């Protein structure tokens, strides 16, 4: 889907190639989709293959997850060679360990940006835009920001389920992993902020005036927002409290809905998709998402909405990561090397690209 987007949007503007470990499969997909780009063999288990392929490019866009199984050597090589990099990682434990390549990336000039998909672009850029508007209007950022997911229509991927399973396996092998996954500031390079809300319980929110249920993407999105704050020199303040939850409605019906959401895990059970499996084209095009970011400080309140009109994990994410790679290459030429999240790396430039290409829309809403 990423290659299809490049073919349709940029085939005559960019010098690009498709890469993977199985050349015959790449040739088959390229023929089916009429992709004109050259093919490179890149086997993430073969260091020579990684070096050969990566040394030929300026930016690598990778959807190879679970990244903790297949992505570590690729990040290391990009950092060493000064090749820019974007991924779809929602694996905070792995991302924590990848920070060991920070100094090498800074020296080589490689800009490495994790989580350039549904986790965590809407959250990261939604908070970024809200706080910019707060500083313009009130002269200071909001110390409390709440994300409410108003709707999300889409299907989880086999890759997402595989990443969860890989994380569970890593917990058994690495006793430090639990503390990394439980700490909301584990990606903030040693910074520890205030106690954060418990996103695992059903609660009634007085600001949203409705029942709220746990949001399955919150554990990664919240960590990325706090990392962005750290990388932005605490632009949002050192006392930021940030939460993400699903909106379920008011009254008894809202409570019932919230309880149901909290009782279901779409990534566990017998019908979980396998790696490589995902929704049909019709299902992807029927998907959507609508998230609202509410800033609260005393009497000061402001609300920003982030909306997309495709399946969040496929239709929208494939375009998000494509535009992230191009944005990193073309719009961020003055960005120093290092390991980033999307807001401090690309910020308003990426918001502009996502809006221009009708991938995602950002707007301030009246409260």
Task: List per-residue pLDDT tens for the chain, 367 residues long.
Answer: 999 999 999 988 899 999 999 999 999 999 999 998 999 999 999 999 999 999 999 999 999 889 999 999 999 999 999 999 999 999 999 999 999 999 999 999 999 999 999 999 999 999 999 999 999 999 999 999 999 999 999 876 666 666 667 777 777 788 788 999 999 999 999 999 999 999 999 999 999 999 999 999 999 999 999 999 999 999 999 999 999 999 999 999 999 999 999 998 765 556 666 666 777 778 788 889 999 999 999 999 999 999 999 989 889 999 999 999 999 999 999 999 999 999 999 999 999 999 999 999 999 999 8
Q: How far is CA 120 from CA 6, 50, 151, 248, in A?
A: 21, 26, 16, 22
Residue 247 lies in a domain: yes
According to DSSP, residue 250 is labeled S
Q: Answer yes or no: is 264 within a domain.
A: yes
Candidates 85, 143, 136, 73; CA nearest to 294 is: 143
Residue 162 DSSP code = H
**What angle do the packed helices 121-138 and 218-231 form, to 10 degrees?**
50
Count the domains in the chain. 1
Write phi, then psi, for 7 (nearest 5 degrees). -60, -45
Instruction: For residue 218, give the nearest of 298, 124, 128, 308 by alpha carbon.
Output: 124
Backbone phi, psi, residue 60, to 5°: -110, 130
DSSP states along 79-91: HHHT-EEEE----
The reply to whether 320 falls in a domain is no
Residue 15 inside a domain? The answer is no
Separation between Cα atoms, residue 307 and residue 150, nearest integer Å: 10
DSSP string, 266-332: TTSSTTPPPTT----HHHHHH-EEEEEEEEEETTEEEEEEEEESS-IIIIIHHHHHHHHHHHHHHT-
Task: Specify the pairing of strand 300-308 against strand 338-340.
Answer: unpaired
What's the CA gap between 3 and 200, in Å, rounded? Answer: 37
Rounded Cα–Cα distance for residues 175 and 172 (Å): 7
What residues contact residue 138 under an 8 Å CB cut-off, 6+ apart?
297, 300
Asked whether residue 32 is domain-assigned, the answer is: no
Task: Please give the model's pTM, rounded to 2 decimal places.
Answer: 0.94
> Could you tell me if 66 and 92 are in contact, meaning their C-beta atoms sit under 8 angstroms apart?
no
Q: Quick one: 125 exposed, middle or buried, by C-beta within 10 A (0-12, 13-18, 19+)?
A: buried
In a domain, 341, yes or no: no
Query: What domain range is 130 assigned to?
Result: 121-310+361-365
């Amino acid at each position: 889907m990423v290659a299809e987007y490049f073919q349709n949007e940029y085939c005559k503007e960019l010098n690009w190639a498709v890469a993977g470990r199985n050349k015959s499969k790449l040739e088959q997909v390229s023929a089916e989709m009429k992709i004109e780009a050259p093919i490179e063999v890149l086997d993430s288990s073969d260091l020579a293959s990684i070096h050969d392929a990566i040394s030929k490019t300026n930016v690598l866009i990778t959807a190879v997850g679970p990244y903790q199984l297949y992505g570590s050597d690729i990040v290391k090589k990009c950092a060493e060679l000064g090749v820019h990099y974007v991924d779809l990682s929602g694996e905070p434990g792995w991302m924590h360990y990848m920070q060991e390549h920070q100094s090498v990336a800074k020296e080589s000039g490689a800009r490495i940006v994790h989580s350039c998909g549904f986790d965590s672009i809407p959250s990261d850029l939604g908070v970024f835009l809200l706080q910019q508007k707060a500083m313009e209007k009130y002269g200071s950022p909001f110390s409390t920001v709440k994300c409410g997911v108003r709707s999300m229509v889409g299907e989880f991927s086999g890759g997402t389920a595989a990443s969860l399973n890989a994380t569970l396996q890593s917990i058994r092998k690495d006793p430090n992993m639990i503390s990394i996954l439980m700490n909301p500031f584990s990606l903030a390079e040693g910074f520890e902020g205030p106690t954060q809300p418990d996103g695992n319980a059903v609660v009634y929110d007085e600001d949203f005036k409705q029942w709220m249920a746990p949001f399955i993407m919150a554990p990664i999105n919240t960590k990325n927002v706090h990392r962005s704050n750290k990388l932005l020199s605490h632009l949002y303040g050192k006392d930021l409290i940030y939460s993400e939850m699903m909106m379920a409605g008011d009254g008894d019906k809202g409570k019932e809905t919230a309880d149901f959401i909290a009782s279901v895990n779409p990534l566990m059970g017998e019908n979980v998709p396998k790696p490589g499996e995902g929704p049909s084209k019709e299902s992807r095009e029927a998907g959507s998402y609508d998230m609202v970011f509410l800033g609260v400080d005393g009497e000061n309140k402001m609300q920003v909405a982030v909306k997309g009109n495709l399946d969040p994990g496929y239709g929208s994410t494939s375009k998000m990561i494509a535009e992230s790679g191009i944005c990193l290459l073309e719009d961020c030429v003055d960005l120093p090397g290092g390991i980033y999240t999307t807001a401090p790396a690309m910020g308003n430039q990426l918001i502009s690209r996502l809006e221009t290409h009708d991938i995602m829309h950002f707007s301030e809403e009246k409260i």
